[in-house]
Amino acid sequence: MERIERHACCGGWQEVHRHRSKAVDGEMRFAIYLPPQAQTQRVPVLYWLSGLTCTEQNFITKAGAQRHAAEHGVAIVVCDTSPRGENVANDAAYDLGQGAGFYVNATVAPWSQHYRMYDYVAHELPALIEQHFPVTRQRAISGHSMGGHGALTIALKNPGRYCSVSAFSPIVAPARVTWGEKAFSAYLGSDRETWRAYDATELVSSANEQLPLLVDQGDADEFLHTQLQPELLQAAAEAAGHPFELRVRAGYDHSYYFVASFIGEHVAYHAAALRG
Amino acid sequence: MERIERHACCGGWQEVHRHRSKAVDGEMRFAIYLPPQAQTQRVPVLYWLSGLTCTEQNFITKAGAQRHAAEHGVAIVVCDTSPRGENVANDAAYDLGQGAGFYVNATVAPWSQHYRMYDYVAHELPALIEQHFPVTRQRAISGHSMGGHGALTIALKNPGRYCSVSAFSPIVAPARVTWGEKAFSAYLGSDRETWRAYDATELVSSANEQLPLLVDQGDADEFLHTQLQPELLQAAAEAAGHPFELRVRAGYDHSYYFVASFIGEHVAYHAAALRG
């Protein structure tokens, strides 16, 4: 593991590291914000999953989350959205291949060689973080758009691993919208039964842990009625009796201006859960 | 004038506009954040000047200033750092030409045709803003690096126009450092006497208004001892009896992580001055 960036920020340190990942069989980068409290004690961790086209940079430069993480004494870990590199399968489209890993373990060639972002985020990355940084094993998870899908599905698939989960503008039903259908067809193949394991609206129906789901959604989001449709998750959660809160924000779009506007509320929400 | 971006942000609106500028004889873009208070009343304006290579985008996406502007009821206007376009003189280097206007009125060809950023920022832009947006004529000005130089010099050259001025990591003595020597040689020519009109350490010596100068500076800034040297302005201000405050921040570098960490203090500082 090699540290490639380190900046003082809001009393703590914003770092970026690269390392060899077994899960994706290649180099991965992640960012970690260590709040001032981490200089003297172990702190809990909020994992952030980004959306289509993003790297570990978008959230750390645009969301302004460090100020809130410093206030609450929470570390924030941000990973890339896919494996990368010349030897990694790719596609010219922005919504498939590099920058669009969809947080699944691909089972279909050529994607299956490296696209194992589910294993990376759910297992390898937390183990690495907990080995090398002054953090506790208290974990929360959140994300934006494709990353909101990742946060919801990874939390639902791993009962007990996360104290809390939230999502901004998430793709809640990838198996039923064009972004998800395209990605899942490529990564998982044509058998739609296999897609259910990565679809929050399917997973919530059979969840054996009642971890509340918090979703923040702008009502001027250009993808709201096509790719996102949070009402699908709301209906599935209600049918399953699963705690679910949808915060609809008038006038807000899909951009990081939306995330930056409400990330403070989410960090506070996760901090309360992480404190237990 | 045409609005080309509009995003809800922190209860207000982050907008980007383009317009035909007389000062630079070409199209210019600027960003304006209108806080929630601007929906019902006129609000004062903080002008922000960015550093080398920046456009109007860097500050609005990276500094997280909107949250503080919304809290204090201040609009923030951010302009580009030079004229742009295929017909505008340029240089392959990052520190000359497009993205590096240095907030001067160039007097030497080919730069003199469009590079009149001083007139644009000091006169044309405020007039445009005050004509088209719900703002008062209470103005503050700040900036980063080359933009810190711009903020200090424009405030010092225009007594009474600004209620307050501050700068992050400013180039305080451009006539004595390589960034400034290169730019001023090109834009203003070889007669160093003409450079004094755009050098804060020269201007403070003869200022006929005692507007306090607030400078924030990271002590791990990679340009501190070469291009910045805030102690030169400190000495000149002390010699002139001009109020000056230097806030040195341990561990902070030249990046927007530094700006984001302390922009809240600066917005509060300007808001207090703007309220009178």
Tokens 């947080």, residue located: A103
Q: In angstroms, what CA-CA distances link A191 with A70, A90, A181, B262?
A: 45, 22, 11, 52
pLDDT of residue A118: 98
Beta strands in A50-172 (DSSP E): 75-79, 135-143, 164-168
Residues B161-170: pLDDT tens digits? 999 999 999 9
pLDDT of residue A16: 98
Element at A29 (helix H, strand E): strand A26-34
User: pTM above the 0.95 mark?
Assistant: yes
Nearest to A7 among B10, B255, B264 (CB): B255
Q: Are strands B244-249 and B213-218 parallel, antiparallel or unpaired?
A: parallel
Q: Residue B34: which pLDDT band, with cuts at 50, 70 and 90?
A: very high
pLDDT of residue A141: 98
B168 phi, psi to nearest 5 deg: -105, 125
Chain A: give the shortest CA distance to residue B82, in Å: 23
Nearest to A257 among B8, B220, B253 (CB): B8
Whether B209 shows a pLDDT value over 90: the answer reads no
The chain-wide mean pLDDT, for chain A, equals: 98
* Residue A10: closest C-alpha in chain B: B261
Q: What residues in B contact A218, CB-CB < 8 Å? A: 8
The chain-wide mean pLDDT, for chain B, equals: 98
Contact A258 B220 (CB under 8 A): no
Residues B100-157: pLDDT tens digits? 999 999 999 999 999 999 999 999 999 999 999 999 999 999 999 999 999 999 999 9
- Residues A87, A93, A96, A102, CA torsion sign: positive
Residues A116-147: pLDDT tens digits? 999 999 999 999 999 999 999 999 999 999 99
pLDDT of residue A276: 82
With a cut of 0.90, is the ipTM above it?
Answer: yes
Residues A191-242: pLDDT tens digits? 999 999 999 999 999 988 899 999 999 999 999 999 999 999 999 999 999 9
**Mean pLDDT (whole number) for B225-235:** 98
CA distance A110 to B182: 52
pLDDT of residue A55: 98
Contact A7 B66 (CB under 8 A): no
Contact B61 A256 (CB under 8 A): yes
Residues A86-114: pLDDT tens digits? 999 999 999 999 999 999 999 999 999 99
Q: Residue A264: which pLDDT band, with cuts at 50, 70 and 90?
A: very high
**8 Å CB contact between B1 and B19:** yes
Helices assigned H by DSSP within B164-213: 178-188, 200-203
Contact A8 B257 (CB under 8 A): yes
pLDDT of residue A208: 83
Q: Using CB atoms within 10 A of its CB, is residue B240 exposed (0-12), middle (13-18) or buried (19+)? A: middle
Q: What residues in A contact B8, CB-CB < 8 Å? A: 218, 220, 249-253, 257-258, 261
